[in-house]
Structure 1
Amino acid sequence: FFFFLNSSENSRKLYKDEYLKIYHDSLSTTIPGVKVPSLEDFKEEFRRKAVYGFIICSFFKPACMDPVPFDPIKESRKPLEVRASRSLNNGGKKATEVTANMLRELIDLK
C-alpha cells in the first residue's frame, strides 16, 4: 500500500529494489528477536501480495489527487449516483493515468 501510494512511478522504477532492501533491513534490525524472511523471500512475498496494496491505492490515490476536498458529511447526503460518479472521476484524467500505470507495474511484477 505505502509503496504505491507514497512514491512516484519514476521513483519506483529507479529504486524499487533499493526501497525493498531498505524496508527489509529496517524490519530485520528494528524488532530484536523477530525472525524476518530472507530478502529474496521478502521480495517474492511482495510480488505475490502487491495486488492488495494496488487495490487500496486505486481508491485512495485518485481521491488524494482530486482538487475538490472530500467532505464525508456533504457526500453522505448526496444520491448514490452522484457519489458513484464522483468516485469514478476523482483526480480526473491524471489520476486515471497514474492508476493505469500502477496496474502496469503490478502486471510486470508477475
Structure 2
Amino acid sequence: YTTKYDNIDVDEILKNDRLYNKYFECLISKGKCTEDGKLLKEAVPDALKTECKKCSEKQRAGAEKVIRFVVENKPNDFKQVEAIYDPEGIYRKKYNEEAKKRGIKLLE
C-alpha cells in the first residue's frame, strides 16, 4: 500500500470526534471519503485477507492502535465495520488469538 499517508497523526483522529466520524462514515459507506479515507477503505479487505502483508510497520502499528481504540471506546462502531468487512466472522476467528496476545479483547 502507499506510504503517502503514513505521517497522518492517528492519535489526533481518534481523539477528535469530528475527524473520527468522517473516517468511520467513509468506511461504512455512509459519508464522503477523503483521498486517504478512500485508500484506507480500499485496503481493508485486502489487508484482512493477507494479514496486512503489504502494510508498512507504521501502518501495522496504526491499525492496531485504531482497532484497540474502537473495540474499547466505540464497540457499536466496531460491530458495524465488522458486519461489512467480516460478515461471516472469518477474520475474527483468524485474528482472535493474535488480538488476545496484544491485549485486545474482541467483543462477543
TM-score w.r.t. the length of structure 1 is 0.30
- Give the number of the structure with larger relative contact order, counting CA–CA contacts within 8 Å between residues 6 or more apart: 1
Name the one with the larger helix percent. 1
TM-score w.r.t. the length of structure 2 is 0.31
Name which one, 1 or 2, has greater alpha-carbon Rg: 1
